[in-house]
Every structure is written in C-alpha cells, then in structure tokens.
C-alpha cells in the first residue's frame, strides 16, 4: 500500500486531528467515554422541543458553542399542528447526517475531493403498529433506504467504497441496525 498520489483533497474535515485523536484515545481509553445528551420539554399536544447543550467527554464536562433546539410534532394528517418534523423523520435526518459526515471524512482520508453529496433517505413504516391497530405489526421502521448522489474525483467503485466505509464507522447506522439497551425512568 502506498499513500495517495493525488493532490490533497479538501472536504473541510480535519483528518490529521481525527487520526491524532484515534491514537491518543487508544492509549487513554477513558477519555473516549462520551455521554451525549438531549433534553425534551413537552409543549402541547404532540409538540415537544428538544434542546442539546452539554455533553461529557475527554474526561470532563463539555459544552456546545451554543444550544440547539429541535421542534418535533406530527403533521396535520395526524390531527396535530405540525410544529416540527416527526421523531421518526428526525431519526432519518440523524442517519443522513451521520453517514454524510462519514462520507466527507473517509473521502478526505482517501484523497478524494467531493464536489457534491446528496442523500435521500426513506423509511418504510406501517403505522398500525404505533396506533395499536395490529399487534403483529412492530412499531419500528420496516426498512430504511438511503440513496446517495455523489459527484467526486473518483471512480464509481471508489465512491461506493467510501459510502460503505462510512456505514461501517457510523454511530447512528450502528445504533439503528443493532440492538441498544434503552432504560426509561420516572422521577
């Protein structure tokens, strides 16, 4: 294996930093233990507002540069007021964001300059499950399809390999395709 002969690609990802972090955290694995957090406040009906501000990582409390809010609701078709995307759509947004960030990082690591990346994400869902209308129908998505249109300085196989590697390294993809224990408590 040799390093790439192409001119260095710039997708705006700080690859040297990420590689450095990988080495440093492998030697000090306690620093790699992160906790991601969100707070959800009920507003009215099915409308709620999520806020993201702090997290824990690198051994101490951390903070975003500002707090981010996410309105979630259901559309008029559910007789809701549609103040935001549905939670399942936010899940699709999270999957698309995670995979796309991965595409940019992997591409840059491999010296591939991206010109445009667009993901179209669709989740098939039988809502009889959540409505309790058919006990045999699960609540979750039946399946999710992600379609990428990518324009980059690379062959189709190289682009496919970037997308495949991004799935392999994606936290959201892994959380959706594999079981995660979830515990819900009440005060």
Partner 1 sequence: MLRVTTVVIGAGHSGLAVSRHLAERGVDHVVLERSEVASSWRSQRWDSLRLLTPNWLSRLPGYAYRGDDPDGYMSAPQVAAFIEDYAKESAAPVRANTTVTAVGRVDDGYVVETDQEAWRAATVVVAAGGASVPTVPELRAGLPAGIEQRAPGGSTPDLPAYRNPGDLPQGGVLVVGPSASGIQIAQEVHASGRPVTLAVGEHVRMPRTYRDRDVLWWMDATGLFDDRYDEIPDLLRARVLPSMQLIGSPERATLDLNTLSAAGIRLVGRLAGVHDGVAQLSGSLRNVCTLADLKVKRLLKGFDEWAATAGVEQTAGLPPGEAVAPTVVPAAAPQELDLGSGEIRTVIWATGLQPDFGFLGELPVFDRKGRVRHDGGVVPGSPGLYVIGLPFLRRRKSTLIDGADADAADLVTHLVGHLA
Chain residues binding partner 1 by CB under 8 A are 1, 26, 29, 143, 157, 160-161, 164-165, 167-168, 173-174, 176-179
Query: Residue 10 Cβ, how far from partner 1 at the closest point, in Å?
Result: 20
Please give the backbone phi and psi of residue 2, each rounded to the nearest 5 degrees, phi first. -125, 160
Q: With respect to partner 1, which residue has the nearer C-beta, 30 or 76?
A: 30
Query: Residue 62 Cβ, how far from partner 1 at the closest point, in Å?
Result: 24
Residue at token pair 């309105």: 71
Q: With respect to partner 1, which residue has the nearer C-beta, 116 or 143?
A: 143
Query: Residue 117 Cβ, how far from partner 1 at the closest point, in Å?
Result: 18
Q: Which residues contact 103 (CB under 8 A, 6 or more apart)?
A: 114, 117, 148, 150, 162, 163, 166
Q: With respect to partner 1, which residue has the nearer C-beta, 83 or 169?
A: 169
Q: Which residues contact 116 (CB under 8 A, 6 or more apart)?
A: 149, 150, 151
User: Contact at 8 Å (CB) between 20 and 109?
Assistant: no
Report CA dihedral (89, 91, 93, 99) to the nearest 10 degrees.
-150
Q: With respect to partner 1, which residue has the nearer C-beta, 46 or 170?
A: 170
Query: Residue 26 Cβ, how far from partner 1 at the closest point, in Å?
Result: 8
């Amino acid at each position: 294996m040799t390093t790439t002969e192409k001119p260095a690609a710039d997708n705006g990802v700080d690859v040297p930093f990420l590689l450095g972090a990988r080495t440093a955290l492998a030697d000090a694995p306690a620093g790699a233990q992160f906790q991601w957090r969100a707070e959800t406040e009920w507003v009215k009906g099915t409308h709620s507002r999520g806020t993201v501000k702090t997290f824990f990582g690198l051994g101490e409390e951390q903070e975003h540069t500002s707090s981010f809010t996410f309105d979630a609701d259901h559309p008029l078709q559910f007789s809701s007021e549609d103040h935001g995307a549905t939670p399942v759509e936010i899940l699709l947004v999270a999957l698309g964001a995670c995979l796309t960030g991965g595409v940019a990082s992997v591409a840059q690591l491999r010296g591939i300059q991206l010109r445009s990346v667009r993901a179209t994400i669709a989740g098939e869902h039988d809502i009889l499950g959540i409505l309790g209308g058919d006990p045999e129908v699960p609540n979750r998505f039946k399946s999710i399809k992600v379609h990428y249109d990518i324009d980059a300085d690379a062959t189709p196989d190289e682009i496919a390999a970037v997308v495949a590697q991004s799935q392999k390294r994606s936290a959201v993809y892994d959380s959706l395709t594999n079981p995660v224990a979830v515990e819900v408590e009440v005060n």
